[in-house]
Amino acid sequence: MGKIDSNNGWHGCDLDGTLAVYTSWNGGEIGRPIPLMMARVKQWLANGEQVKIFTARAADPVEVKKINAWSYKHIGVVLEVTNVKDKDMIDLWDDRAVQVIENTGVRVDSFMPKSRS
């Protein structure tokens, strides 16, 4: 894959439980890639869009090195690793996020129909 350059914002993807399977901390080992998210990330990159791995692990340089190696092995490029949002973030894909309707504080899923189990 070529150079990643986008002035149109960036997609943030959490690592553990979103890009990589997570079951427990296990010494910080990074799990195997999650195929659906990997396909999404690779498509964004192929479209010339910028993607960053958005994780609390970004605070630890040792963890960043692990993430860089994992990213290169499974994605083919080293994605930027961060834990900082900025005005250019387009969206955040995360297994722990709760989405709210802008300017309301109302959870988006509060309008979802209840499943009939």
pLDDT in tens, 86-102: 999 999 999 999 999 99
User: pLDDT tens digits, residue range 37-83?
Assistant: 999 999 999 999 999 999 999 999 999 999 999 999 999 999 999 99
- Distance, in Å, from the CA atom of 94 to the CA atom of 56, rounded to the nearest integer, reads 12
**pTM for the full model?**
0.85
- Distance, in Å, from the CA atom of 19 to the CA atom of 53, rounded to the nearest integer, reads 9
User: pLDDT tens digits, residue range 3-23?
Assistant: 444 468 999 999 999 999 999
User: Residue 34 above 80 pLDDT?
Assistant: yes
- Distance, in Å, from the CA atom of 41 to the CA atom of 1, rounded to the nearest integer, reads 12
The total number of structural domains that make up the chain: 1
- Position 3 in a domain: no
User: Residue 1 above 90 pLDDT?
Assistant: no
Query: Greater confidence, 109 or 62?
Result: 62
- Position 5 in a domain: no
- Position 4 in a domain: no
pLDDT recorded at residue 2: 41
pLDDT recorded at residue 5: 46
Paired residues of 20 in beta bridges: 16, 33
pLDDT recorded at residue 97: 92
- Position 25 in a domain: yes
The structure tokens listed for 87 are: 């005005």
Owning domain of residue 56: 10-111
- Position 1 in a domain: no
pLDDT recorded at residue 4: 46
